[in-house]
Amino acid sequence: FVGNSTYLDDHGPPPLKVLPFPSQVVYNRVGKCGSRTVVLLLRILSEKHGFNLVTSDIHNKTRLTKNEQMELIKNISTAEQPYLFTRHVHFLNFSRFGGDQPVYINIIRDPVSRFLSNYFFRRFGDWRGEQNHMIRTPNMRQEERYLDINVCILENYPECSNPRLFYIIPYFCGQHPRCREPGEWALERAKLNVNENFLLVGILEELEDVLLLLERFLPHYFKDVLSIYKNPEHRKLGNLTVTVKKTVPSPEAIQILYQRMRYEYEFYYYVKEQFHLLKRKFGLKSHNRKPSPRPEFFIPSPLETEEPINDEEEDDEKWLEDIYKR
């Protein structure tokens, strides 16, 4: 046989790749909110389901200049789809720079618990290796490394006071300079972004329910995630990311932290209430531990979800479609 036959001659054009919807997901993970556990799961899931997991080696630059935002958005937007991009970075508005806005997901936790985990992790690392904290904070002086947490709080060291304690809200508020200033403006903007740009913001204290909802909303990325999470081998790996040498501050010190983090707590309870409403819509029953005492400056109580409800007014799939169109 002599000829110049091509694939197109014999078979016609190759079939177009059918992408799942949404095909662009961003997990701008908040530090010390279980993100290393979730990234471990994502590495397994990306192999299993064939999506493009795009991670970043930059862990300590969450605030970007305008040019840095444009460059990062360009790099993300040109990644092979379907992709899930993950990095510690404050919310990026893709549409501001002419890009298609991806679906955002995230997880947060009780603000004081997050702060304490970060405080001791910076000093002593986790179970993955006794010396990994020395790699992360090699220039930390010994007196700082072994600084008593109560002294840090009660004597108002910079690490234990604002603006350092205003940490979670900027991940949802965005890159505007005012997003780093503790106050109502940043809080309200963060709430607005949660409502308009995030498919799901979960609570670490109820991680299994977060994973269940992610599997429901984003099956191409998270199908079978809960069974993988409960696998003993994965649990063994997850335990290595637990921070070591944590101690609990005095009640007086904790109350001071509550006062300094009042905006963080207002945001946390807002997200928690939204998450519980979502669980109710999909018939999930809460099995979380007994909640920690609520800070005194909060008066309204969040809606606690104890029993599943039947919601016949709105179809679940229609609700998901509306979320994706935002």
Q: Which residues have a catalytic role annotated?
A: 88
DSSP 283: T
The residue count for the chain: 326
DSSP 226: H
DSSP 207: H
**CA nearest neighbour of 65 among 98, 90, 30:** 90
Q: 3-state class of 270 per DSSP?
A: helix
Chain centre to alpha carbon of residue 237:
19
Task: Tell me the H-state helices in the chain.
Answer: 7-11, 35-49, 66-77, 111-124, 132-136, 142-145, 149-154, 170-173, 184-197, 207-217, 219-222, 225-230, 232-239, 251-260, 262-281, 316-325
**CA nearest neighbour of 253 among 169, 163, 149, 127:** 149
CA distances from 225 to 108, 289, 305, 320 (A): 19, 22, 23, 19
**CA nearest neighbour of 106 among 91, 116, 120, 125:** 91
* Helix H or strand E segment including 53: strand 52-55
